[in-house]
């Protein structure tokens, strides 16, 4: 996907240029960063001052050549924050709304989508009789059954509470990894969703892009900590499940060694995605002894970036992976931490919340 | 209190005129209501004022304006007569008067209904592949059906009761332009006509009441079909 949007409105300038290899591209930004404008321009609901959009080799918008494919012909299955189900139609009728416009209506995997999203028992209901999570599942199914070339998701989980989120995230992971394999543009201000779903991450701030690239690189870049938020920042690394222990801990292999973590449900041999919060990583010059923390990794300091406040973000290399630690500037000075130095990262076993473990 | 043949003829004519007026006015009023609710264009305020004018003008003046525009002597009236449509002093003119007088009521009801539809739902339908016409037919129209019905009933009732503009434009010709209200008025002009007037007034009330009940029933059925709007 290739996207360029320049748009000026209400004294706000949006200037965005995104290139992504496919998979899940996440667009992160705080409210007011210009995310919804990007979504509207991609969906074809807004005609930007200047724009270019190409998906899978098809040019859908090129204002310099006067190309603007209308929303109805772009085939971007769109899931909005407010599910926007049609109140006069049943769940089944909502689901089938877009199928007749699909390039090959007969090829739409209706039964699979209904089964995957667990909608069978809801088909005869009215949207008004659904819970928030159910509404979003129907909206997602409706988008999938319109035969889309790409899924466009605008804060699809923002209106849901924690448990309802957990109800939907696995479906999204399945969409990313499963046979339906659609490219997804995922817009969100929730770092946990992005860490779990995205392949490519784009950071948007005040209408401009401050960083973009593979998720692991962007998430582990200390320069991006202020935008992601000091409490939300943290590297994402991939691990393989080695075995489940009787005491509830699971041994995971990463490039720099092993980690023992609780709450891992994936089967042995599965690849899981770990989010290691920067604030949960402690650094030591020498290998610490007699600590309650189980997971200690030898790491190399790659970068030290002092924040505006008392904190500093430290980029670390652990084997092939990158980690991010957030410690105080005073600690940096006292440890006389320098780039290139080897030290030890201490990860508390509880670092990885169950919600951030994904396929 | 008896209903003679003339009274029945007046009722039939009134129903006929009101039916035609409603059938013609509904699509037109819907289009204008949609324009006023959804579009910004040059002259919108003027169009809005024009639509509402018959509501505030004395009906006699509206009838006079119609007569001036559509009499065979006027260019517009002559043009229509050339293609076989005579309005002045014909039942067709009564239909036009009923349309013009009922139009503001219809547009108001339908505009409210269109404004109540969330444009975001229409956006969602477009992203699913529906063309503009598809969005209107499959999303907007079903959601505004109660408003259209309400507008249609108001317009029908107005057409049944229209007096001032009709008598000014198409006069009082029994069997051609003498609608029920005009027939009642005529009966009251004749000594001893009170009985006939009362009977026709009662008939008029019955029809009006029936229309309101019918619209209530339809609206309820539509509301049940459409479900909660949240």
What are the pLDDT tens digits along chain A (359 aa)? 899 999 998 788 899 999 988 889 999 998 888 888 899 999 999 999 999 999 888 899 999 999 999 999 999 999 999 999 999 999 999 999 999 999 888 888 899 889 888 899 999 999 999 988 899 999 999 999 998 989 999 998 888 887 778 778 888 888 887 666 688 999 999 888 898 889 999 999 988 999 999 998 899 888 888 888 888 888 888 888 898 888 888 888 888 888 888 878 788 888 888 888 888 888 998 888 887 777 889 999 999 988 778 889 999 999 888 999 988 998 888 888 889 989 999 987 555 554 445 54
Domain-located, residue A224: no
Residues A208 and A126 in one domain: yes
Q: Which residues pair with A240 in a beta bridge?
A: A253, A271
Distance, CA of A97 to CA of B185 (rounded, Å): 55
Contact A45 B124 (CB under 8 A): no
Tell me, yes or no, if A74 comes closer than 8 A to chain B by beta carbon.
yes
Contact B125 A97 (CB under 8 A): yes
Contact A98 B129 (CB under 8 A): yes
Residues A51 and A200 in one domain: yes
Token pair 């609780």: residue: A262
CA distance A175 to chain B (A): 18
3-state class of A169 per DSSP? helix
The domains of chain B are located at: 5-225
In chain B, what residues touch A82 (CB-CB under 8 Å)?
120
Residue A306: the pLDDT is 86
Domain total in chain A = 2
Nearest-CB residue to A71 (from B127, B142, B229):
B127
CA distance B112 to chain A (A): 18
Q: Domain containing A290 — which CATH number?
A: 2.40.50.100
Judging by beta carbons within 10 Å of its beta carbon (0-12, 13-18, 19+), is residue A276 exposed, middle or buried? buried
Judging by beta carbons within 10 Å of its beta carbon (0-12, 13-18, 19+), is residue A335 exposed, middle or buried? middle
CA distance A228 to chain B (A): 30
3-state class of B186 per DSSP? helix
Residue A357: the pLDDT is 52
Q: Provide the terminal-to-terminal Cα distance of chain A, rounded to the nearest Å.
A: 23
CA distance B128 to chain A (A): 5
Residues A261 and A328 in one domain: yes
Residue B228: the pLDDT is 47
Residues A17 and A52 in one domain: yes
Nearest-CB residue to A97 (from B120, B123, B128):
B128
In chain B, what residues touch A44 (CB-CB under 8 Å)?
126-127
Q: Flag residues of chain B having pLDDT under 70.
A: 1, 225-230
Contact A88 B225 (CB under 8 A): yes
Residues A206 and A90 in one domain: yes
Contact B128 A77 (CB under 8 A): yes
Pairing of the two strands A295-306 and A342-347: antiparallel
Residue A180: the pLDDT is 64
Residues A210 and A256 in one domain: no
- Indicate the residue among A190, A219, A248 that finishes a domain: A219
Residues B53-99 pLDDT 10s: 999 999 999 999 999 999 888 888 888 988 888 888 899 999 999 99
Domain-located, residue A71: yes
Residues A149 and A282 in one domain: no
CA distance B34 to chain A (A): 19
Residue A12: the pLDDT is 86
Secondary structure of B26-73 as H, E, C letters: HHHHHHHHHHHHHCCCCCHHHHHHHHHHHHHCCHHHHHHHHHHHHCCC
Chain A: residue whose CA lies nearest to B130: A72
Chain A: residue whose CA lies nearest to B138: A97
Residues A178 and A31 in one domain: yes
CA distances from B142 to B114, B117, B139, B217 (A): 11, 10, 6, 17
Residue of A44, A60, A74, A87 to mutate, testing the B interface (most B Cβ within 10 Å of its Cβ) = A87
CA distance B18 to chain A (A): 31
Residue A352: the pLDDT is 53
CA distance B218 to chain A (A): 16
Pairing of the two strands A200-205 and A24-28: parallel
In chain A, what residues touch B144 (CB-CB under 8 Å)?
none
CA distances from B146 to B18, B107, B153 (A): 20, 13, 11
Contact A43 B129 (CB under 8 A): no
Q: φ, ψ for residue B150 (rounded to 5)?
A: -60, -45
3-state class of B209 per DSSP? helix
Residues A163 and A238 in one domain: no
- Give me the domain span that covers residue A204: 2-219
CATH of the domain spanning B5-225: 1.10.3720.10
Which candidate, A35, A125, A113, places its Cα nearest to that of A80? A35
Chain A: residue whose CA lies nearest to B121: A84
Distance, CA of B160 to CA of B13 (rounded, Å): 10
Which candidate, A186, A140, A42, A80, places its Cα nearest to that of B120? A80
Contact A88 B143 (CB under 8 A): yes
Length of chain A: 359
Residues A171 and A126 in one domain: yes
Q: Domain containing A33 — which CATH number?
A: 3.40.50.300
Other residues' Cβ atoms within 10 Å of the Cβ of residue A21: 10
In chain A, what residues touch B130 (CB-CB under 8 Å)?
72, 97-98, 101
Which candidate, A320, A343, A317, A318, places its Cα nearest to that of A331? A343
Max CA pair span of chain A: 68
Tell me, yes or no, if B125 comes closer than 8 A to chain A by beta carbon.
yes
Domain-located, residue A227: no
Sign of the dihedral through C-alpha B161, B167, B170, B172: positive
Tell me, yes or no, if A152 comes closer than 8 A to chain B by beta carbon.
yes
Chain A: residue whose CA lies nearest to B133: A72
In chain A, what residues touch B128 (CB-CB under 8 Å)?
77-78, 97-98, 101, 142-143, 146
């Amino acid at each position: 996907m290739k996207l360029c949007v320049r748009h000026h409105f209400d004294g706000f300038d949006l200037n965005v240029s995104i290139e992504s290899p496919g998979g899940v591209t996440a667009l992160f930004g705080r409210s007011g960063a210009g995310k919804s404008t990007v979504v509207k321009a991609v969906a074809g609901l807004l005609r930007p001052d200047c724009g270019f959009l190409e998906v899978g080799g098809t040019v859908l918008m090129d204002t310099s050549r006067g190309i603007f494919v209308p929303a109805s012909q772009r085939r971007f299955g769109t899931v909005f924050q407010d599910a926007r189900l049609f109140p006069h139609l049943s769940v089944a009728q909502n689901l089938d709304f877009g199928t007749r416009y699909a390039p090959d209506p007969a090829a739409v995997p209706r039964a699979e989508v209904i089964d995957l999203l667990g909608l069978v028992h809801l088909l005869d209901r009215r949207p008004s009789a659904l819970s928030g999570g159910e509404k979003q599942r129907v909206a997602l199914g409706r988008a999938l059954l319109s035969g889309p070339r790409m899924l466009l998701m605008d804060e699809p989980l923002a209106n849901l509470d924690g448990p309802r989120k957990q109800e939907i995230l696995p479906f999204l992971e399945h969409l990313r990894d499963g046979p339906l394999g659609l490219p997804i543009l995922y817009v969100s201000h929730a770092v946990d969703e992005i860490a779990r779903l995205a392949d490519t991450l784009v950071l948007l701030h005040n209408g401009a892009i401050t960083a973009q690239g593979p998720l692991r690189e962007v998430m582990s870049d200390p320069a991006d900590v202020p935008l992601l938020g000091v409490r939300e920042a943290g590297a994402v690394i991939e691990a393989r499940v080695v075995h489940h222990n009787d005491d509830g801990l699971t041994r995971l292999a990463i490039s720099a060694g092993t980690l023992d973590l609780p709450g891992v449900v994936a089967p042995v041999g599965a690849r899981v995605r770990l989010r290691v919060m920067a604030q949960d990583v402690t650094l030591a010059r020498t290998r610490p002894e007699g600590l309650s923390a189980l997971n200690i990794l030898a790491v190399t300091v790659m970068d030290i970036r002092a924040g505006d406040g008392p904190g500093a973000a430290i980029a670390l290399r652990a084997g092939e992976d990158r980690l991010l630690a957030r410690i105080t500037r005073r600690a940096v000075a006292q440890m006389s931490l320098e780039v290139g130095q080897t030290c030890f990262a201490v990860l508390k076993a509880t670092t990885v919340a169950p919600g951030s473990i994904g396929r | 209190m008896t209903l003679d043949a003339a009274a029945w003829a007046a009722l039939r004519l009134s129903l006929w005129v009101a039916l035609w007026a409603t059938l013609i006015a509904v699509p037109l009023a819907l289009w204008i209501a949609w324009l006023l609710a959804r579009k910004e264009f040059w002259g919108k305020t003027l169009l809005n004022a024009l639509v509402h004018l018959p509501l505030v003008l004395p009906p006699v003046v509206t009838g006079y304006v119609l007569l001036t525009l559509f009499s065979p002597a006027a260019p517009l009236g002559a043009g229509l007569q050339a293609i076989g449509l005579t309005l002045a002093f014909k039942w067709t003119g009564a239909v036009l008067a009923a349309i013009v007088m009922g139009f503001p009521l219809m547009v108001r009801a339908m505009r409210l209904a269109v404004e109540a539809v969330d444009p975001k739902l229409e956006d969602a339908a477009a992203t699913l592949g529906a063309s503009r016409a598809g969005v209107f037919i499959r999303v907007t129209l079903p959601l505004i059906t109660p408003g259209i019905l309400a507008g249609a009933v108001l317009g029908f009732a107005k057409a049944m009761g229209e007096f001032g503009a009709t008598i000014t434009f198409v006069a009082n010709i029994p069997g051609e332009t003498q609608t029920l209200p005009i027939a009642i008025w005529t009966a009251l002009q004749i000594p001893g006509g009170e009985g006939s007037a009362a009977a026709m007034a009662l008939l008029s009330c019955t029809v009006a009441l029936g229309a309101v009940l019918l619209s209530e029933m339809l609206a309820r059925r539509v509301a049940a079909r459409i479900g909660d709007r949240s």
